[in-house]
Structure 1
Amino acid sequence: MNDSRIWAALEPLHPSALEDMPMDGTWLKPPYHNDPAGRAVVCNDDDFQFVVVDRKKGSVLFVCEDDESLIASSLDTFVRIVSAWGSIDRDAPGPEDDEEFSAVRKSFESQLKVLDPPAAGPNEFWSLYTEELTSDDYVDFDDLDDDEDEEPETDTGDNDRPGADESFSVA
């Protein structure tokens, strides 16, 4: 699959719809550079995560260090998934509202199973992403109090010593 075919699918989504996608990085325009496996890098965080399009199969994959997971089986289904995700992303409460978020997540998962059953698999991108959001390890840093960001003051022990201008006498 050449760059023009990839861009034909991504251009209508660029940049706003792609920016709603739950992955860090910059969505790129052609010409696309290839990763070591010969896949087109379409989104890159300039660190260790990126999104690629397999030029032979047309599938869209999320790559994070040595792990890969399927985002979409093809560019065509990727476009439909981005659209489905965008409508949910705009309307979804955050994970802090467990009941509503769970309903929205289940709705998206149901849509995904219809749009692209392989991408809805248990160890693929969307499943891993929603699992991470709903785990107890998820912390919304915006909800933390500002006080928690400050370092506690440490007691140096100087409080008990007389100051330089103080004198004490031994009686």
Structure 2
Amino acid sequence: MSQFLALEAKLLDENRYEEWLALLDEDIDYHVPIRVSDDRPDRQSAANRYRLRDNMMLLSKRVERMTTGQAWAESPASRTVRVVGSVLVTPTDLPGRFEVDSAVLIYRQRALDEEADIIPVRRQDVVLHEDGRCRLLKRTALLPWIALRTPNLAIFL
């Protein structure tokens, strides 16, 4: 599973978005919930409120825009380095399905900006492993911030 996550990070860092899309299942649920300030650990994100909530069609459209030069927030494309760690893999009751928790630090340099962003993300994924390959079925990307501390979320987490 670590190999799968490392490959995904490499493809995204190298702007190889079409190849990255091939790692996703057609039924992908990719979302970034809005964080809230609450003392209870089970209420750290707002119910049914998202910064992003994408499926395969929307992710494909985002990739298409990024390759046309029409995605102004990413023109020129950010230079990124993703470091993936703290990987925990838990089998589910369904054959070939795994819950995969990981932590990711994304270094992002945008255009001519002197300051770079460090974007910390805690990811909760569901990965399907069958026929010798992995596919991402679901991703919940949790940012620690209540208010964004980066100009945009135009990159994939």
Higher strand share: 2
Bigger helix fraction: 1
Q: Same fold (TM over 0.5)?
A: no
Structure of greater Rg = 1
TM-score (norm 2): 0.25
Q: Which has the higher contact order (CA 8 A, sep 6+)?
A: 2
